[in-house]
Structure 1
Amino acid sequence: MVKQEGNPSRLKETSKVQPLVVVVGLGVSGQAACRWGLRQGYRVLGTDLSRDSRIQTVAATLEAEGVSVRLGEHRLEDFAGADLVVVSPGVPLDTKVLAEARRRGIPVIGELEWAWRSLRVPTVAVTGTNGKTTTTELVGALLQRAGLKVFVGGNIGTPLSGWLAEHGQERADGAALDAALDWCVLEVSSFQLDSAPSFAPDLGIVLNVTQDHLDRYPDFEAYAASKFSMFQKNPAVSQTAVINADDPVCRRWASSLNVPTLFFSRHDASAHAFTDGRTLTAVARDGTGRRFDLSRWALRGTHNLENLMAASLAGLHCGIDPGVIQETIDTFRPSPHRMEWLGSVNGVGFINDSKGTNVGAVMKALESCTQPVVLLLGGRSKKTDFRDLEPLCAQKVRAVVGFGETGTQAAAELSSCVPTVVVNDLEEAFQEAVVRARSGDVVLLSPACASFDQYPNYAARGDHFRALFQRHAEKAAEGGLGVCPRTFFSADAGRVA
């Protein structure tokens, strides 16, 4: 497939020797965008509202590389001479300086969009409220096991512009990039899609759409529309959609797509991919059905079967041999912080699902638990309703421990169906859970919230929970209590933003 030759959305040439690019937000994506701008020969100004020690270190590094940095404020005068503004996913698009830049006719796009305009290799993009990371890693593993050169990143790991910055400046014919890559597999968030007007992957996967980020969108429909915005943008790209037929929102939106659509389902055996939990059947490009054995599939939870169906359909559509798909099913192992089994102490298990940053993710986590649960909820609110958890809490949860900024809200909204308690932070929540849990129970950190009230990211929160468990296990061992070895399984519950 030929991608975006002569893309009309590409930044227009100006008379300046070095056009100015302003990068707003200096997180991982913003830093990558700065380096991509330098690699292309632009003058780059990076700006961030923070002045904390972490961003000071980032600023010093970028300045040493040639980026001008402004911290603590976004100044309108810094944007006045910009030829392009590149915005990081975490920065709201209605920010005053961005609105003013658009009013002045300055293009405002996201890091994903800017990098995408220089990419001319086949691309798989994975989005959805939950399961994006596992599915992205699965698709990448399938292609890599087949011996292909694959970049896996985007909203996980390395941003696309970061990969481009490391692999040289784009040549006019794209040959330098094409030689380094056979496929690009990207996890993409709604925030990234909102600022990516021409992003149109060859294969787009939508796993599910449940309530999330309602602190950023005017309503749920706007959030759902963002997820499906990667289709029908670029007539030069022949797209295919892979959609969850069991998700009612996905099914409704799929009916309006004008691209070939492949459905996966746990309930409809006529879908392009179907599983009964023991085997998975998927339709290959030639129309023949392929059956895969799931006896060695290591990831826990029915939602991970959905992730696997989506990835298997993508693999077959990309021309991967069924034998390679079976080998990947047999050997794939999960990443941390996604239903990560830490071990058990005195008969109580501990699961780190810090990646569970929305209510839908917690639902999937609870559905995968067969033992009574002491559930740790809290963090920074996304303005979702904890009461959606009531049926599962009444069925599976012994107690809810609320912590952080939304701990009180979580406890209040679930108090009618389960005993609740509110504490200040994760360490207090862990101790409270230990007191309340009984032998045979599971203590589950699946917080349904962002981590930013007390941690820089979900991984730091998960690392803290793991450290608390390790300390608890060590004390228990000293006291002669039973401590089971640590093993891992996963039930990916999605990625923030």
Structure 2
Amino acid sequence: MKIVVLGGGESGFGAAYLAKKKGLNIFLSDKGLIKDEYKSLLDDADIEYEEGNHDEDRILAADWIIKSPGIPKKADIIFKINQKGIRLSSEIEFASEFTDAKIIAITGSNGKTTTTSLIYHLLKNDDLKVGLGGNIGKSFAKQVADENFDYYVLEVSSFQLDDIQNFRPHISLLLNLSQDHLDQYNYNYEEYALAKFRITENQENDNFFIYNKDDEMSMKLLEKLEIKAKKIPFSLKEKLKEGGFVMDDKMVVKIDNEFSMKIEELSLLGNHNIANSLAASIAGKLLKIKNESIRNSLMTFQAVEHRLQQIAEIDGVKFINDSKATNVNATYYALESMKQPTIWIVGGKDKGNDYTEIEDLVKRKVKAIVCLGIDNQKIIDFFQDKKELIYSTSSMEEAVKISKSLAQSGDAVLLSPCCASFDLFDNYEDRGDKFKKEVLK
């Protein structure tokens, strides 16, 4: 069988490595340049590859093509592959065909990384043999090739779900939906939401689907879709007969024997993280993890880097890195959790943002807005009659300096950009790292 992998990053190399290990005929193609670390890994594994070009004749002669999630589905080569009717899969689809391990897959517009890491921590803490992959950690395919795990906890994006055929998690979680990546879904919110729901499309009645009962779009689509998996909800707003909910100052999970713990004991702050903790606890209960072990995991979990991560407190001012907030809804959660007057650093590559969702929070919680991007005009235009103090900057150094000059003891400086990072930075990690560096300087 001829396998072609498109993209030579973590996901692409992992898929190619697994194909090679399974004795398949493998060729990797990247239209851009492949990083040196992956080139040396490809050479070591004796995998044939090309960079800076797509050999279309060779690609279109493949039996199965594995696409890295970063390649847009509107790319010319993808159009040609689809026209020829060649099977086109994501790495998660490809790797799942070669493992019998139970898969716990997590998607949603926000909180994926935190919840995936939390569930992984929960399983690891209970001494289960578990791998972490998907959009986070090491390549899922590479782990399937080299490891012998009983479980995989995978963070899964809509782009990965676009390219599945048989992917069937034992437990799937859809945390929430908000308008994100609409440029890739014809600016149609429902089309994007349906892509997320594909996480459950191959599940059967011996599988589980955990969903957010408070999420409007999820509930709307649940009425239309036929889901075979056993559906288990969580809610911050209502008491449930089965599932996870909040009662008084406790979070409660009703599955088999009841689990509960005080919200103040959770290591993660903010309402959104109570929801994430409920979802993770439901997954833990379904996997028969003992209550005491779940409690211990929820108390000891460390927050994910670049997600509401406190960098330092300088002269009474807290500096918080939320660089992973690349959409308005993620920033909503960040602003909602702020307890002190906030200098807010915002901006980057706009993905069709509508700032009305956070308008009220900005009025109540934000002391000054520091825009950080090549083009800050849209943010300035929206907030100029709502906030007196708005500054425009085009470098992290400048943004941090201005923020520090505006902040007084008892304030917070929050980097929560609402936008993608590609105008000034390599990715959101690079943006967060540069923020940390400037703050610590």
Question: Structure 2 length as normaliser, TM-score?
Answer: 0.94
Tell me the CA shift for residue 139 of structure 1: 1.4
1:280 matched to 2:264? The reply is: no
What does the per-residue CA deviation read over 1:374-416, in whole Å, with 9 as the maximum and x for residues that have no partner?
Answer: 1111222222223432111111111211122453322222222
Partner of 2:273: 304
SS at match of 1:320: coil
SS at match of 2:35: helix
1:459 matched to 2:432? The reply is: no
What one-letter code is carried by the residue in structure 2 that aligns with 1:449?
C
Q: Do 1:381 and 1:406's aligned partners in 2 also have CA atoms closer than 8 Å?
A: no
Partner of 1:157: 137
Distance 1:138 1:274, change over 3 A: same
Query: C-alpha distance in 2, partners of 1:300/1:267?
Result: 18
Tell me the CA shift for residue 348 of structure 1: 1.8
Please, what is the CA RMSD of the aligned residues? Answer: 1.8
2:365 aligned to which of 393, 396, 410: 396
SS at match of 2:115: helix
2:146 aligned to which of 155, 163, 166: 166
Query: C-alpha distance in 1, partners of 2:356/2:30?
Result: 36
Partner of 1:187: 155
Partner of 2:391: 421
Query: C-alpha distance in 2, partners of 1:200/1:29?
Result: 19
Partner of 1:16: none
Q: Which sits farther off after the overlay, 357-366 or 73-82?
A: 73-82
Output aligned runs, 1:126-165, within 5 Å.
126-165=106-145
Tell me the CA shift for residue 74 of structure 1: 2.3
SS at match of 1:147: coil
What does the per-residue CA deviation read over 1:190-223, in whole Å, with 9 as the maximum and x for residues that have no partner?
Answer: 1110101221211111110011111211111111
Query: C-alpha distance in 1, partners of 2:191/2:151?
Result: 30
Distance 1:93 1:427, change over 3 A: same
Q: Do 1:274 and 1:282's aligned partners in 2 also have CA atoms closer than 8 Å?
A: yes
Output aligned runs, 1:305-454, within 5 Å.
305-418=274-387, 419-454=389-424
Tell me the CA shift for residue 289 of structure 1: 2.6
Partner of 2:3: 21
Distance 1:56 1:264, change over 3 A: same
Q: Do 2:323 and 2:416's aligned partners in 1 also have CA atoms closer than 8 Å?
A: yes
Query: C-alpha distance in 1, partners of 2:49/2:421?
Result: 26
1:83 aligned to which of 55, 58, 63: 63
Partner of 1:470: 440
Query: C-alpha distance in 2, partners of 1:416/1:438?
Result: 24
Q: Do 2:312 and 2:440's aligned partners in 1 also have CA atoms closer than 8 Å?
A: no
Partner of 2:21: 39
- Residue ranges of structure 2 left out of the alignment (5+ in a row): none
Amino-acid identity (%): 33
Partner of 2:92: 112
Query: C-alpha distance in 1, partners of 2:301/2:435?
Result: 25
Q: Do 1:214 and 1:384's aligned partners in 2 also have CA atoms closer than 8 Å?
A: no
2:215 aligned to which of 234, 247, 250: 247
Tell me the CA shift for residue 283 of structure 1: 0.9
Matched residue count: 436
What one-letter code is carried by the residue in structure 1 that aligns with 2:233?
F
Q: Do 1:347 and 1:440's aligned partners in 2 also have CA atoms closer than 8 Å?
A: yes
SS at match of 1:316: helix
1:92 aligned to which of 72, 80, 90: 72
1:124 aligned to which of 88, 93, 104: 104
Q: Do 1:294 and 1:329's aligned partners in 2 also have CA atoms closer than 8 Å?
A: no
What one-letter code is carried by the residue in structure 2 that aligns with 1:28?
E
Distance 1:412 1:78, change over 3 A: farther
Distance 1:326 1:126, change over 3 A: same
- Residue ranges of structure 1 left out of the alignment (5+ in a row): 1-18, 168-179, 472-497
Distance 1:27 1:384, change over 3 A: farther
What one-letter code is carried by the residue in structure 2 that aligns with 1:44?
I
Partner of 1:215: 183
SS at match of 1:125: strand
Following superposition, which runs of at least 4 residues in structure 1 exceed 6 angstroms of deviation? none
